[in-house]
Amino acid sequence: MRQRGRVDLDLVERAAGQPRGDAARVTLHRAQEHGEQRDRQQRGHDRGPDQGSQHAGSAGARHARRDCSTRAPRTSTVPVAPAWRARRRFATILPPMDHDEQPRDDLYRIRHSLAHVLAQAVLQLRPGSTLGFGPPIDDGFYYDFILSAPLSEEDFPELEKRMKHIIKQGQAFERDELPAAEALRRIEGMNEPYKRQYAEELIQKRGLASLSFYKNGSFLDMCEGPHVENTRKIPEGCFKLRSIAGAYWRGDSRNAMMTRIYAWAYASKEELEAKVKAYHEALARDHKKLGRELEIFVIDEDIGKGLPLWLPNGTVLRDELEKLAKELEFKAGYVRVATPHLTKADLYYKTGHLPYYASHMYPVMELREQVDGESVVKESYYLKPMNCPHHHRIFASRKRSYRELPLRLAEYGQVYRFEDGGALSGLLRVRGMCMNDAHIYCTEEQAHAEFLAVMELHRQCYEILGLSDYYMRFSTWDPTDPKGKEKYIDDPEGWERAQSIVRDAMERSGVRFVEGKGEAAFYGPKIDVQFRTVTGREETASTNQLDFGVGRRLGLTYVGSDNKEHTPYIIHRAPLGTHERFIAFLIEHYAGAFPTWLAPVQVRVITVADRFDEYGSKLVASLRERFVRAELDTSTDTLNKKVRNAVTEKIPNVLVVGEREQQDGTVTLRRYGEPRQETMAFAAFEARLHAAIATRSRGLPA
């Protein structure tokens, strides 16, 4: 069960991507416009306060916060986001739309009206059911019910038939606006307890003086509209019931479980069909499917839920990403550290994780000994759910001077979080994950440049990977949050300063972002990078947080030029998130066809007949000599079959060699996805290949 205790640790933070349970407000900053938006969107469960889940970004984010230590070269070589301003690659997917922001256009009306039509059909089929919410959503609409008898997808044809019938009847949507008291009386008569509860909230908490109702045919609903004037305005064949699932009333597991029916709906039959088709095609990129087919990872029941086994192909991806991170971080002045997977329980009491975060950690390991015939606990250990406390201890390993700041400690650290079983999903949400983690300890004066440098590091990573389908979310502190003082560091001035540092850095970088008020980490504001999976779920890939509170809490200090002790700012960041989530993301991004530098098998040599295998072996040996992942296909398959296999495995470079090539010392290159093949000297191919790998380019430069 989920507990709702609040921890104030970073962990607590919802991990990235997590949906936050509270209604947070988000402001969209696009160039100059500001729009109000809310980020609900997440479809994950609310992992809000309680759950810290997630890795990747989230993880990064959340975890990170704790203390550490070590010294880094006090270089001043940090590149300060220069290039960033000019590029426009960020944020090409649209952030979630706020309820109050959605355009009430025709499509909105159609979807909203269809939700009422669905409800009417459901009430016909299951009289006595009660209603929850039924809003339009990004790709259609849904409606929540407490059904008088269960429905399943098998009932969809019947429901759709009834819906079509209702539409054909040409029911008019009639709006009725009643003063609060009268509205409540009417709702009372409707026998809709959830609607009533919400109506009371609207009147009492939001101060609405009146409520509106819409009636079409036999169906009456409290609803703000707008709707189409008549069901005939709903285009024929523009919707399709999609799925049925449970959903808690108001997304809160303490509330009743309702049944939610989702449907797709678009402005025309053609558009609907195109979208549904695109959706099904997108499923072919699902990382769970490709992960199995391309032998990247498996999740073995005998090992445990959420604990992936990385197969050789997947391990190549991890190694290459780590190599990339090490190179970029080295250039950005980071130093690497390594810390153990286990930690004494005491540390987590100091950081504040225990006992609040305990439900998201694997149970304690206790070393016992016999004392007077009784078994007593001598020492207790936990698997670490984040790397920050370890890094903070490294920072604290000796006295620190301002002269060695900023100190940037980096580690691809393995952490374990006990996520809810129902939340686990392939590599996207796991219980064991390896984070591209780092903590930067710096002075307040350095924080701005360091944060910019972190954003620049993000830009570099994303540019190399060709990622552009994401948006950034700036999560800030909400001074009016009723739980503020227990949840967040109580230091309004500190928040203001930290937020202005981040906001300014973001604005200077020119990156588009949305603002989520009330979504900050407990110790500071953060920037999360949000993306969507092929199935449309939003997740956090990367996270960056400016922590002004934990250093103080843990007594981390450095000696300043004034010979006094000061508390460092700490930036927690994870541009590549966790291997688990990030690779899931990359598999879907590339549809399994990785660029040469990342590909598990970079070159497959196929001979026309086995008498050319010796020549093929020489090619492979030459390539492997310089660390190219090349291999010779020695199977007895036909040439056609070998080519087919290489294509199926999405190998980026296939070399076909036979009599001609052997004689001329050439190779015939067949690039994945390119119909044209090309014969060239082997030396020329090698040079191009090495160039492609060295520059991590997507193609093979000429």
Partner RNA sequence: GCUGGCGUAGCUCAACGGUAGAGCACCUGAUUUGUAAUCAGGCGGUUGCGGGUUCGAAUCCCAUCGCCAGCUCCA
By CB under 7 A, what part of segment 363-422 binds RNA? Answer: 420-422
Near RNA by CB under 7 A: residue from 81, 415, 465, 656: 656
Q: Select from 80-88, 486-494, 559-567, 603-611 the region that touches RNA (CB under 7 A).
A: 603-611
Q: What are φ and ψ of residue 585, in 5° steps?
A: -60, -45
Q: Which pair of structure tokens corresponds to residue 247?
A: 């959903």
Instruction: For tokens 């195109």, name the residue.
Output: 274
Near RNA by CB under 7 A: residue from 14, 65, 288, 393: 288
CB of 291 to RNA, least distance (A): 10
Near RNA by CB under 7 A: residue from 32, 152, 480, 563: 152
- Residue nearer to RNA on the CB measure, 315 or 679: 679
By CB under 7 A, residue 158 contacts RNA: no
Q: What are φ and ψ of residue 413, in 5° steps?
A: -100, 135
The residue among 372, 492, 385, 380 whose CA lies nearest residue 437 is 385
The residue among 303, 302, 292, 250 whose CA lies nearest residue 135 is 250
Contacts 24+ apart (CB under 8 A), 671-680: 671/699, 671/700, 672/593, 672/647, 673/593
CB of 484 to RNA, least distance (A): 17
Is residue 264 a contact partner of residue 160, using CB atoms and an 8 Å limit? no
Is residue 456 a contact partner of residue 82, using CB atoms and an 8 Å limit? yes
Cα gap 652→670, rounded to integer Å: 8
For residues 103 to 142, the per-residue mask of contacts with RNA, x marking binding by CB under 7 A and - elsewhere, is ------------------------------xxxxxxx---
Element (H, E) at 539: strand 538-547
- Residue nearer to RNA on the CB measure, 299 or 409: 299
Cα gap 366→369, rounded to integer Å: 10
| Contacts of residue 314, Cβ cutoff 8 Å, sequence gap at least 6 | 291, 295, 296, 297, 583, 600
Q: What are φ and ψ of residue 347, in 5° steps?
A: -60, -40
Q: Select from 5-13, 195-203, 497-505, 556-564 the region that touches RNA (CB under 7 A).
A: 195-203
Q: Which pair of structure tokens corresponds to residue 512?
A: 């588009």
Q: What is the sign, positive or negative, of the torsion defined by CA atoms of 101, 106, 110, 113?
A: positive
CB of 244 to RNA, least distance (A): 6
Is residue 505 a contact partner of residue 8, using CB atoms and an 8 Å limit? no
Q: What are φ and ψ of residue 43, in 5° steps?
A: -100, 5
By CB under 7 A, residue 648 contacts RNA: yes
Q: Select from 204-212, 447-455, 477-485, 615-623 the region that touches RNA (CB under 7 A).
A: 204-212
Near RNA by CB under 7 A: residue from 55, 65, 162, 195: 195
Report the first-to-last Cα separation within the chain, whole angstroms: 57
CB of 133 to RNA, least distance (A): 3
Binding positions for RNA, 207-226, rule CB under 7 A: 208, 211-212, 221-224
Q: CA-CA distances (angstroms) from residue 221 to 24, 55, 120, 130, 226?
A: 27, 41, 10, 11, 12
- Residue nearer to RNA on the CB measure, 198 or 395: 198
Binding positions for RNA, 529-548, rule CB under 7 A: 535-537
CB of 577 to RNA, least distance (A): 19
By CB under 7 A, residue 178 contacts RNA: no
- Residue nearer to RNA on the CB measure, 293 or 379: 293
By CB under 7 A, residue 657 contacts RNA: yes
| Contacts of residue 76, Cβ cutoff 8 Å, sequence gap at least 6 | none
Q: Which pair of structure tokens corresponds to residue 294?
A: 């391309």
Binding positions for RNA, 430-469, rule CB under 7 A: none
Near RNA by CB under 7 A: residue from 608, 618, 631, 690: 608
Q: Select from 266-274, 505-513, 575-583, 658-666 the region that touches RNA (CB under 7 A).
A: 658-666
- Residue nearer to RNA on the CB measure, 206 or 564: 206
Concatenated DSSP letters for 81-145? --GGGT---S--SPPPPPTTTS---HHHHHHHHHHHHHHHHHHHHSTT-EE----EETTEEEEEE
For residues 7 to 36, the per-residue mask of contacts with RNA, x marking binding by CB under 7 A and - elsewhere, is ------------x-xxx-------------
Coil, strand or helix at 388 = helix
Binding positions for RNA, 481-520, rule CB under 7 A: none
Number of other CB atoms surrounding residue 6 within 10 Å: 17
Q: Select from 8-16, 54-62, 339-347, 656-664 the region that touches RNA (CB under 7 A).
A: 656-664
Cα gap 120→165, rounded to integer Å: 11
By CB under 7 A, residue 77 contacts RNA: no
Binding positions for RNA, 301-320, rule CB under 7 A: 301, 305-306
Binding positions for RNA, 35-74, rule CB under 7 A: 38, 40-46
- Residue nearer to RNA on the CB measure, 425 or 509: 425
Cα gap 340→411, rounded to integer Å: 11
CB of 202 to RNA, least distance (A): 5
- Residue nearer to RNA on the CB measure, 596 or 668: 668
CB of 73 to RNA, least distance (A): 43
Binding positions for RNA, 625-644, rule CB under 7 A: 635-641, 643-644
- Residue nearer to RNA on the CB measure, 127 or 150: 150
CB of 330 to RNA, least distance (A): 36
CB of 281 to RNA, least distance (A): 15
Binding positions for RNA, 217-276, rule CB under 7 A: 221-224, 243-248, 250-253, 257, 259-260, 262
